[in-house]
Structure 1
Amino acid sequence: MDTQTTDNSLNITRVFDAPRELVWKAWTNAEHALHWWGPKHHPATEIEWDARPGGHWRNCLQAVETGEAIWHGGVFREVVAPERLVFTFAWEAPGERGMETVVTVTFTEEKGKTRMVMHQVPFQSITERDGHDEGWNSTFDRLNEYLNS
């Protein structure tokens, strides 16, 4: 695992012991994503996933301890199978939508494994960026567990 940051961006690199096509399916198929999306303490309970350019996505994360539901979503800008996903990301609150970031995820085959590089930008604060860093890394731990199950 490798995380690199600037004040308003986040880069996370992971290598999964799984073929690129499988990692791609885990990212682009709602049935797969439901098994790993969200950090351990806020796993996804609902996923709406239309992985095509212009398609919308929306997910509900539910706090394990309190049951609080947190919605987030966006629009897929690029879907280049099995190499690249670009989508917008924003948290939702009743009656409002948070600041939008752009997430770019690339997938590279390396001797039967998959190198995934995720880049997210811009963040309004270091605190916001660091929260996403923690959340994404926990989410990618869950993805790794799912791919190896």
Structure 2
Amino acid sequence: MAAKNDLATEPADRVLVITRIFDAPRSLVFKAWTESEHMARWFGPRGFTSTVLRNELRPGGAYRIHMRGPDGDDHWMQGIYREIVPPERLVMVGSWADAQGNLTRPETTLTLTFEEHDGKTKLTLHQAIFESVTARDAHQGGWTTSLDCLAEYLAAAQSSRG
């Protein structure tokens, strides 16, 4: 008998988990994810530019980000912050949307945990539940290059500090 899709069970093939170690303090990595001026400098797959249109960093607060791809195509993502525990955890529900703010894909929940790791930060990204394996795989590619951009941004931010 197949398991029901409820909060207690997640279909493993439609869940994305990425773990990365960043050579930066946890507080800085958390700020890079939560402060608009930081997010605009790295957020999005490689080659994309991002504008943070809304960022109400509080439980129940909304966020909306416009990304322009290297091909000139526009992409919007938006959602609601569910949990914010600085500098340890960030949970948000969101989706892709159109220019007018109408959702174009099913919502997923993105959970980020930030852990101290030998003077560095271990980030675990958990996103679920995708509508298909194809959607999960597309997000894996996007998040992988986004996290590469974050690593480069953090390195530059730290070297400019001193």
Regarding TM over 0.5, the answer is yes
1:144 to 124, 147, 151: 151
Higher fraction of helix: 2
Output the TM-score relative to the length of structure 2: 0.84
How many residues in Structure 1 have an aligned counterpart in Structure 2? 144
Aligned to 1:112: 119
The more displaced of 85-94 and 112-121 is: 85-94
Greater Rg by CA: 2
Separation in structure 1 between the aligned mates of residue 38 and residue 99 of structure 2, nearest angstrom: 28
Structure 2 gaps, min length 5: 1-10, 157-162
RMSD: 1.4
1:6 aligns with 2:12: yes
Separation in structure 1 between the aligned mates of residue 135 and residue 115 of structure 2, nearest angstrom: 28
Q: Is the 8 A contact 1:15 1:114 kept in 2?
A: yes
Alpha-carbon shift at residue 94 of structure 1 (Å): 5.2
DSSP-derived class of the 2:42 partner: coil
Alpha-carbon shift at residue 136 of structure 1 (Å): 0.5
> What do the CA deviations read for 1:25-47 (whole angstroms, capped 9, x no partner)?
11110000000100013231344
Q: Is the 8 A contact 1:78 1:85 kept in 2?
A: yes
1:84 aligns with 2:93: no
Aligned to 1:73: 78
Q: Is the 8 A contact 2:15 2:127 kept in 1?
A: yes
The more displaced of 33-42 and 73-82 is: 33-42
Alpha-carbon shift at residue 8 of structure 1 (Å): 1.1
